[in-house]
Structure 1
Amino acid sequence: MIPWNHGKRLPTIPGRCKGQIVILCYTLLFYSVTCVDVEPQKEIYVPNYNVYHNLTRIGKEVEYLLKFPNYVKVYTHHKSRQNRQQYLLHISNFTKHSEKFDNLVEKPRILFSFGEHAREFLPVESAIYFIRNLTGGLLPDVDGFSRQFTQQILSLVDLYIILMANPDGRHHVEKTKNYCWRGTSTGVDLDRNFEWEFGGKGSSSDTEDEEYRGKDPFSEPESLVFQEITSDVSFDAFFSFHSGINHIYIPYSDTKSRQLKRVPDNIQEMLRLAAQLSRSTKYKYRFGTSHQLINYTADGTIFDYMAGIQKIPFSFTVELWGKQHQGMSCFDLFNPKSDELQKVVSNLHPLYINIIRYLSEWKSRNIAKMTNPYSERPSMVLGYMLLGITASVSAMICLHRKFRNCPKIYTHQRIVSLKTLSSSFPAKNL
């Protein structure tokens, strides 16, 4: 999500730049940096494709998942402008024995998105690691711990994953070795191409700018998978994963929302989840509403669209990883060295597990409230009914004793106990 130069330390300005001239110098320097932000630079290190997955190896990972038809569905009809697959995955327990359980306790429906920005390899690698661990427990010769882990997670979630949202952009990076390239094949920033506050100053109409938003909302074929899947499925949560810094963003990030101080309806619950995720890995994340956490706005983003238009209760952008960065290189800003990759994705793994467990508990609480609005406190209705009936009967008996000449209400006078009286009424929520 972050632009190329976010958080970059600017070089020292010469002493002759004073007062207003200093401001002008910084402004010129800023634009001189951003005007080449999609051009290739001299990199400190580049990916080793025996470790990192290129597009071909990502496709093979998806083919591997086809061996688990009872737990993984792969949809390949969502494609990019250049006809490359975006790989929409649906992971859940589709076996018949799970239907009864799923009807009793509905699982949270969660949508994960990876690979929106071409130069950010790490999020896709973390997704592959997570999916491999999740499906590892389905293998016939797997150990008991792995099988238990898989069964537990699949019992908690109905998970959809867009594994490679921008395959054309990734192809461009692999072909040209321009590791600063962020957009699609036409240079559009996919994360500025959505209809929520589209066209604001937190994006660009310049085709040479890395935050080029495109001509219209959803002008890019790559955006349509998000629109279509959220129209078909009622999601509880959406997560857009990126890299470049350790931040968790809550909507809204657009210019107008910053002016209005607009926040989602579910802001407190989202903050609680963000706080838990911020300490779920060894990477300590800063979190908060996007327009408060960073000093720039972003218009037309995917996670704002999910919150503002689709009304998904939880919508986040998560910047998984970042490092102190100086210089003009790009790959090292968004991705670890190849020999450090496995350690990083392993460290990120608990974040996904915490997302699933938190939202599963949240969904269970909400279903309990919908099915029984008094589930969190004892119902007093029956108690008041019994008390009223007892009082009425007692009054009638007292009156009957006082006025001996009135007709007898009961053949035998006796005290009616609350226990006896209550046995005539069905017990409920006592």
Structure 2
Amino acid sequence: MDYYIVEEVNNQNQVNENISNEEYGHSILPEVRDNDEQESERQLDENKPFQNLIKRDESLDLCKDKPLIEDLDPLKPYYSVKIPETAPDKIQPQGYQQMNWNEYHNLDVIHKWMENLENNFPSLCTVGAIGTTQEGRKMKILKVSNSEAGNTSVWIDAGIHAREWIAPAVNTFIADYVVRNFNTLPTSFTNKDWYFLPVANPDGYEYSHKVERLWRKNRAWYGGQCFGVDINRNFSFAWGGRGSSGDPTSPVFRGREPFSEPESSAMRDILIRSGIKFKVYVTLHSYGQVIVFPFGYRDELCPDYVRLLEGATVMSKAIYASTGNTYKVGISRDVMYGASGTSTDWSYGSAHIPFTYLIELRSKQHKFLLPKEEIQETCNEILNCIKALMEFVDNYPIDKNSSKLYKTL
């Protein structure tokens, strides 16, 4: 069925030629709505002339079948009517809340946004669940790919720690940018398969929205009033060491054993057991404005320290050029604190992902409570950071015979 959107701009025949459906912000729904949001919806009766439902100074959104478009003719002497054609697959279902980066969103909105991308960009996007949490929530992942055989793979996760709301916001912003601009992006973006996990800790994230804003861990029950494991201390590489605790009441409780939690084990299964050869692993956290790389569990430098430091420096410079913000770079011991059983140490040490980074986002001033007014600028600076990283890693192709990196001159 063909659909048209009808927009009544005003009742004085002053047509704004520059207005488009996206800019004007109308939902494409088969109904008439009052300007006053408190007034109830008045559904269009097909047996009643709909122009009688329109009051002076009232705007409407109307979706009509193509054969009935002549019904609009009587309106023209009294109303300015704009009729842009719209593809049926752009029509949003009722109840859909549009994703934006002017506020923080709960899990349901994020998951609906992922599904919407998959519906509107089926040749690029695939959404799937990689695991199920203790409370039955899905860990949904978005894959963005043109399915070229020579692509390398990039992983970006966020929300391992529930209270760090800016991390899922940045993750979704980057994913949305990649999808909507894919056809015009440079090769450093299009020669990769992108895997986005916006909320790696769904139970904790929802709990931080509904009950306790500064909750950090997941919601696994460990007896009595003891809830939660720090997922970022539950990975097997150097599990049980510095910066973690065996006390279930501790905010850095590592769990009873490595990968005891469905969230960490789901990440393990796709990063190391799926057969996908990841070249880049990035995990987004807050706060601190630092870019760190392995190792966090010990003071000694990792074998690829120089290359990882160079990549982190490239990212930090891109952020500074974007907003003037300074992000320190280095290993955890030098710029932050020691930690063991982390996703970054495991991704580098066990999954052998050559470019592994943790980015602590804004801000030192507001800590975990970053104002929503700073979401957009934070997203932009980290997008530029990721752009710089993608260009950098392309200087290190992977030898297909040995699976080792080599640097191009």
TM bracket, shorter-chain basis? 0.5 to 0.7
Partner of 1:65: 117
Deviations 1:198-236 (CA, angstroms, capped at 9, x unpaired): 112420111111101111100100111221112221211
In structure 1, runs of 5+ residues without a counterpart are 1-47, 139-146, 325-331, 377-430
Matched, 1:74 2:127: yes
**CA distance in 2: counterparts of 1:184 and 1:271, whole angstroms:** 31
Of structures 1 and 2, the larger Rg is shown by 1
Matched, 1:354 2:396: no
Deviations 1:365-396 (CA, angstroms, capped at 9, x unpaired): x569999x9x97xxxxxxxxxxxxxxxxxxxx
Partner of 1:54: 106
Deviations 1:165-204 (CA, angstroms, capped at 9, x unpaired): 000001111121x222100012110000011111124201
Matched, 1:198 2:239: yes
Task: From 257, 263, 278, give the equivalent of 1:235.
Answer: 278
**CA distance in 2: counterparts of 1:53 and 1:220, whole angstroms:** 25
Q: How does 1:209-224 map to 2 (within 5 A)?
A: 209-224=250-265
Q: Which amino acid aligns with 1:353?
A: K
Identity %, equivalent residues: 28
**Equivalent position SS for 2:397:** helix
**Equivalent position SS for 2:396:** helix
How many Å apart are 1:293 and its aligned residue?
A: 2.5
**CA distance in 2: counterparts of 1:311 and 1:87, whole angstroms:** 24
In structure 2, runs of 5+ residues without a counterpart are 1-99, 221-227
Partner of 1:10: none
Higher relative contact order (CA 8 A, sep 6+): 1
Confirm or deny: 8 A CA contact 2:157 2:282 kept in the other structure. yes
How many Å apart are 1:361 and its aligned residue?
A: 2.9
Deviations 1:279-303 (CA, angstroms, capped at 9, x unpaired): 1113211111112323x32111111
Deviations 1:86-136 (CA, angstroms, capped at 9, x unpaired): 112221103xxxx4xx4xxx3332111111000001111011111222222
Task: From 302, 312, 316, give the equivalent of 1:264.
Answer: 302
Partner of 2:313: 275
Task: From 122, 128, 131, give the equivalent of 2:175.
Answer: 131
Partner of 1:183: 217
Structure 1 or 2: more strand by fraction: 2
Matched, 1:285 2:327: yes
Give the direction of change, closer, same or farther, for the CA distance of 1:268–1:77 in structure 2 (3 Å limit).
closer
Matched, 1:247 2:290: yes
Q: What count of residue pairs does the alignment treat as equivalent?
A: 295
**CA distance in 2: counterparts of 1:299 and 1:162, whole angstroms:** 22
Confirm or deny: 8 A CA contact 1:278 1:286 kept in the other structure. yes
Q: Which amino acid aligns with 2:116?
A: Y
Confirm or deny: 8 A CA contact 2:102 2:373 kept in the other structure. no
Q: TM-score, normalised by structure 1?
A: 0.64
Q: How does 1:374-393 map to 2 (within 5 A)?
A: none
Partner of 1:148: 184
Partner of 1:420: none
How many Å apart are 1:77 and its aligned residue?
A: 4.3
**CA distance in 2: counterparts of 1:369 and 1:183, whole angstroms:** 39
Confirm or deny: 8 A CA contact 1:111 1:238 kept in the other structure. yes
Partner of 1:113: 157
Give the direction of change, closer, same or farther, for the CA distance of 1:49–1:174 in structure 2 (3 Å limit).
farther
Task: From 352, 356, 364, give the equivalent of 1:315.
Answer: 356
Task: From 197, 207, 226, give the equivalent of 1:162.
Answer: 197
Partner of 1:20: none
Confirm or deny: 8 A CA contact 2:188 2:394 kept in the other structure. no
Q: TM-score, normalised by structure 2?
A: 0.67
